[in-house]
Chains A and B, each alone.
Chain A
C-alpha cells in the first residue's frame, strides 16, 4: 500500500513537472531552441522534446568548454610543459559531457520520430525567407545553407538527426585523443584541429536552427501554443 502510494506520488510529480514546464514555456536558448514547436499534440511527448533539446545543448556546451580548456593546455604546453594528469582530467570531463549530449540527442531523435509534426510550424518553415534572414544576420553561408537544406523542407527530424551524428563524430575523435593522452603521448594536432572544427560547425548548425525557430515563433502568434 505504501509502495503504491509512492508510485502514485511519483507519477503525480512527473505530470506536475511537465505541466509546469509547458506552462512556463521552457526553451532551449542557444542550440535548436523552439525546435519542439515543430511537433504537435502537446502533452508529455512535446514536453520531453523540449527537455531533451535543453539537456543536449547544456551538455554539448559544457563539453565544448572543456575541450577548449584542453586546447588551451595544449597551446600553453609549448611555454610551460605538458601535465598529462591535468590533460586527462579535462578530457574525461569533455567525453563524459559529450556522451550525455549524444544520449540526449538520441532520445530526442527517437521521441521526434514518434511524434507528429505541428503543421502550422512546418508551414512557417516551408515559406520562411532564408536568404533574407541570412543576409540580415550575416550568418556563415556554408553552415546556414546546411540548416536551410533541412528546415526549408520542413525536415526538423533530419535536423535533429544531424545533431546526433555530429555528436557521435565528435565523440569518436575525443576517444582517439584519449588513447594518446592515456599513454602520455602528445595528441595528433590534426585530430585536435578536426575535433574543434566539428564542434564549431555543430554549434553554428544548432544555433542557426535556434535563430530560425525563434524568428518564426517570436513573430507568429499561436504557432507554438
Chain B
C-alpha cells in the first residue's frame, strides 16, 4: 500500500512538472529555438525535444566560451608566456561541455526520429521566403544556404543531424589539441583556426534556424 502510494505521488509530481513545463512554454532562444514546433501534438516527446534543444545550446555556448578563453591564452602567450596548467584546465572544461552537447544532440536526433512532424510548421517552412529573409537580416550566403537546404524541404530532422555531426567534428579536433597540451606542447595553429571556424559556423547555423523557426506564430506551436 505504501509502495502504491509512493508510486501515485511520483506520478502526480511528474504530471505537475509536465504541465508546468507546457505552461511556461520553454524555448531555446539562441540555437535552434522552436525547432520543437516542427514535431507532434505536444506531450512528453515534444517536451523532451524542447529540453534537449535548450540543454544542447546551453552546453554548446558554455563550451565555446571556454574555448575562446583558451584562444585568448594562446594569443596572450606571446606577451605573458604559457601556463599549460591553466590551458589544460580551460580545454578540459570546453571538452567536457562539448561531450555533453554531443550527448544531448544525439538524444535530440533519436527523439526527433521517432516523433511525427507537426504539419502546420512543416507547411510554414515549405512556403517560407528564405531569400527575402536572408536579405532582410544580412546573412552571408554560405551558412544560410546550408540551413535553407534542410528547412525549405521541411527536413528538421536533417537539420538536427547536422548539428550533431558538427558537434562531433569539433570534439574530434578538441581531442587533437588536448594531445598536444597534455604533454606541454604548443598546439598546432591551423587546428585551432579550424576549431574556431567549426564553433562559429555551428553557432550561426543554429542561430539562423532559430530565427527562421521564431517566425512561426507561437499560437501554432503547442
Least distance between B140 CB and chain A CB atoms (Å): 3
Q: How far is the CA of A192 from the CA of B76 in the complex (A)?
A: 28
Complex: A74 Cα to B28 Cα, angstroms = 9
Which one of A60-68, A106-114, A125-133, A174-182 is at the interface? A60-68
From 89 to 133 in chain B, residues with beta carbon under 8 angstroms from any chain A beta carbon are none
Given contacts A61-B68, A200-B204, contact A71 B189 (CB under 8 A): no
Q: Does B75 touch A at the CB level, under 8 Å?
A: yes
Q: B26 and A28: CB pair below 8 A?
A: no
Query: Does the CB pair B141–A58 fall under 8 Å?
Result: no
Nearest A-chain residue to B192, judged by Cβ: A30
Q: How distant is the Cα of A205 from the Cα of B76 in the complex, in angstroms?
A: 19
The answer to whether A142 and B51 touch (CB under 8 A), given A31-B75, A204-B197, is no
- Chain B 184-222, CB-CB to A under 8 Å as 1, else 0, gives 000001101100110011011001001100100000000
* Bound CA span A139–B190, Å: 12
Partner-binding segment picked from A4-12, A75-83, A148-156, A157-165 = A75-83
Q: Is the interface of A mostly helix, strand, loop or mixed?
A: helix
Are A142 and B142 in touch, CB under 8 angstroms? yes
- CB–CB A29/B69 < 8 A: no
Nearest-CB distance from B141 to chain A (Å)? Answer: 5
Residues of chain A within 8 A of B58, CB atoms compared: 72, 75-76
A76–B200 Cα distance when bound, in Å, is: 20
Task: A201 to B139: give the CA distance in the assembly, Å.
Answer: 10
Complex Cα spacing A61 to B90, Å: 14
Given contacts A30-B71, A68-B65, contact A75 B57 (CB under 8 A): yes
Which one, A28, A72, A139, contacts B65 given CB within 8 A? A72
Question: A210 vs B74: C-alpha distance in the bound complex, in angstroms?
Answer: 14
Q: Is the CB of A189 within 8 A of B51?
A: no
Interface string of A181-209 (1 = CB under 8 A from B): 00000000110110011001101100100
**Closest CB of chain B to A213's CB: distance in Å?**
12
Q: Check if A61 sits within 8 Å of B78, measured CB to CB.
A: no
Mark A41-66 against chain B: 1 for CB-CB distance below 8 A, else 0: 00000000001001001100110111
Contacts of A15 in B (CB 8 A): none
The verdict on B159 contacting chain A, using a C-beta distance below 8 Å, is no
Contacting pair A61 B197 (CB below 8 A): no
Complex Cα distance, B28 from A193, in Å, reads 13
Contact of B196 among A142, A189, A203 (CB under 8 A): A203
Tell me whether A140 is interfacial, beta carbon within 8 Å: yes
A28-B78, A197-B204, A214-B189 known; A65 vs B29 contact (CB < 8 Å) = no
Q: A78-B28, A193-B207, A211-B190 given. 17 additional CB < 8 A pairs? A: A26-B78, A28-B75, A30-B75, A31-B75, A54-B75, A62-B68, A65-B69, A74-B29, A76-B58, A78-B27, A78-B54, A79-B51, A140-B143, A141-B140, A142-B141, A193-B210, A203-B200
User: Can you list 29 residue pairs at the A/B interface with Cβ under 8 Å?
Assistant: A28-B75, A30-B75, A54-B76, A58-B72, A58-B75, A62-B68, A66-B65, A68-B61, A69-B62, A69-B65, A72-B58, A72-B61, A77-B29, A78-B24, A78-B26, A78-B54, A79-B54, A140-B140, A141-B140, A143-B140, A189-B29, A190-B211, A193-B30, A193-B211, A196-B204, A197-B138, A204-B200, A207-B196, A207-B197
